[in-house]
């Protein structure tokens, strides 16, 4: 079975002076043309591609046998641990001359010491301005003491076309900065990761472990994407790599520099499913395209624009969308308050346009984030009321309601019971759970018996625990 490994890849996209694929491409007509080189582009861009080292100190158990309670009781020993330094290597791209660097979240996630090494071998300690797991992007800042660093300019990733030439720049396997060339193999790949905002550029430019966070650049050196994952059976290059489009990366950088320490994406207030051939036939649509809306949030942006359940969003700002990931991506590249033009289809193929003024997802009801204590199956878990804002943070259905597990402490009772962030507690001892206060009271007054129903990704799970 194939697996996706989160490793480096960078690629460069054909980009004329007017934009991606602004002019038709041509094959070489002479030996002189065939000997043209990307060297001038590489000389300009390569100094802005850096190495990112993330160091984490982890506790490692010396002997797993010591965890056995019977062994501990019989021999009078306790679990023994030792500290081990775990280091990850990735790449990054300088996007502002004052030391703002874009990389992957998985490169720095959990890192206690993050070091950026420039192309001239100087090293700087980096501060994380923003790390966002939803997009797998992170924004770092190094102190340049007023020195202006080389940068890579953002390009417009929406102008990419399949077949455009690309260059990948990064540090595979830590061997040193490496440049590879390929083409854009595909666009709008949405089945690569579990993120609600997945919308990847696919390339065959050679990328390998160590290139994560590197630059996917165009023929004239503009940033087309941030390399994020490869598709491989072995964990090494197999001709299929994925990059996060520059338009989303730019939005993340803007959010990081805006302050607040968190990234807040715009929201359309609707959810749906891809239009299949059967759905298109039943609705009398000319072809299976777009997102069929199943839920509209009352008073949300879509509702305010006159969009209804059963409508099909075929495109946003003239760009077709085929699933919720693609729709979420198009919305996420805008800021709250922006107005987007959506093209809608209804039963019978009737078409219309609507202007949707985007907003932040509301936090209603209030979160009431609470840590569960005492002695019950949820001890050590943080819970909160579900709202569109919370659901967006946890990448759940924005229309979900109830009480959700936001985090689970390591080695806690909740962790031992198998609870995970995103679990929605539906009922306890036969009573429906609708609020944090209700769940906390039910846990405390259960009489030592907890029969729970939990929703995990649409699946119904049950848990019965007694003292």
| Active site positions, annotated | 106, 136, 212
**Terminal-to-terminal C-alpha distance of the chain:** 42
**233 Cβ neighbours under 8 A, 6+ residues apart:** 2, 3
In sequence order, what DSSP letters do the residues of 338-371 get, joined into one string?
-EEEEEEE-GGG-EEEEEEE-BPPP--S----EE
- The CB density around residue 418, as the number of other CB atoms within 10 Å, is 13
Q: What are the angstrom distances between the C-alpha of 221 and each of 37, 41, 45? A: 13, 6, 6
How long a stretch of residues is the chain?
A: 467
| CA dist., res. 151 & res. 46, Å (int) | 9
| CA dist., res. 276 & res. 203, Å (int) | 27
Q: Token pair for residue 136?
A: 């797998």
Provide the phi-psi class of 310: left if phi over 0, else alpha when psi is between -120 and 50, else beta: left
In sequence order, what DSSP letters do the residues of 88-102 get, joined into one string?
EEEEEEEEETTTEEE
| CA dist., res. 168 & res. 426, Å (int) | 47
Q: 365: cis peptide before it, omega within 30°?
A: yes
Angle at 199 between CA 355 and CA 346, to 5 degrees: 40
């Amino acid at each position: 079975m194939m697996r996706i490994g989160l490793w480096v890849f960078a690629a460069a996209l054909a980009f004329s002076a007017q934009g991606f694929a602004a002019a038709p491409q041509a094959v070489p007509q002479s030996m002189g043309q065939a000997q043209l080189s990307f060297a001038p582009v590489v000389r300009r861009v390569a100094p802005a591609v850096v190495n990112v080292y993330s160091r984490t100190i982890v506790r490692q158990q010396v002997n797993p046998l010591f965890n056995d309670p019977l062994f501990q009781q019989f021999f009078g020993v306790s679990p023994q641990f030792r500290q081990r330094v775990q280091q990850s290597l990735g790449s990054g791209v300088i996007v502002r001359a004052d030391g703002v660097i874009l990389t992957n979240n998985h490169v720095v996630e959990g890192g206690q010491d993050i070091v950026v090494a420039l192309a001239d071998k100087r090293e700087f300690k980096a501060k994380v301005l923003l790390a966002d797991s939803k997009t797998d992007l992170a924004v770092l800042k190094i102190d340049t003491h007023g020195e202006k660093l080389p940068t890579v300019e953002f390009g417009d990733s929406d102008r990419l076309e399949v077949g455009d030439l690309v260059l990948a720049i990064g540090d595979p396997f830590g061997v040193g900065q490496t440049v590879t060339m390929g083409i854009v193999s595909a666009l709008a790949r949405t089945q690569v990761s579990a993120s609600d905002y997945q919308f990847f550029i696919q390339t065959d430019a050679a990328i390998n472990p160590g290139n994560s966070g590197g630059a996917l650049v165009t023929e004239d050196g503009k940033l087309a994407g941030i390399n994020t994952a490869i598709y491989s059976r072995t964990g090494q290059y197999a001709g299929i790599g994925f990059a996060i489009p520059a338009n989303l990366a730019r939005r993340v950088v803007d959010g990081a520099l805006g302050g607040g320490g968190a990234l807040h994406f715009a929201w359309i207030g609707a959810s749906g499913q891809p239009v299949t051939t059967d759905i298109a036939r039943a609705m009398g649509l000319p072809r299976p395209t777009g997102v069929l809306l199943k839920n509209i949030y009352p008073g949300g942006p879509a509702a305010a624009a006159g969009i209804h359940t059963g409508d099909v969003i075929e495109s946003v700002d003239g760009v077709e969308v085929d699933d919720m990931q693609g729709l979420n991506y198009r919305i996420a590249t805008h800021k709250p308050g922006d107005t987007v033009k959506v093209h809608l289809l209804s039963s019978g193929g009737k078409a219309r346009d609507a202007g949707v003024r985007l907003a932040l997802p509301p936090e209603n009801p209030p979160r009431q984030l609470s840590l569960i204590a005492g002695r019950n199956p949820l001890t050590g878990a943080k819970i909160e009321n579900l709202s569109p804002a919370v659901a967006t943070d946890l990448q759940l259905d924005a229309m979900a309601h109830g009480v959700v597990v936001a985090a689970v402490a390591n080695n806690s009772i909740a962790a031992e019971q198998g609870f995970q962030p995103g679990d929605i507690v539906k009922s306890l001892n036969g009573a429906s759970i609708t609020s944090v206060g209700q769940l906390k009271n039910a846990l405390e007054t259960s009489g030592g018996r907890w029969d729970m129903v939990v929703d995990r990704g649409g699946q119904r799970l049950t848990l019965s625990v007694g003292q």
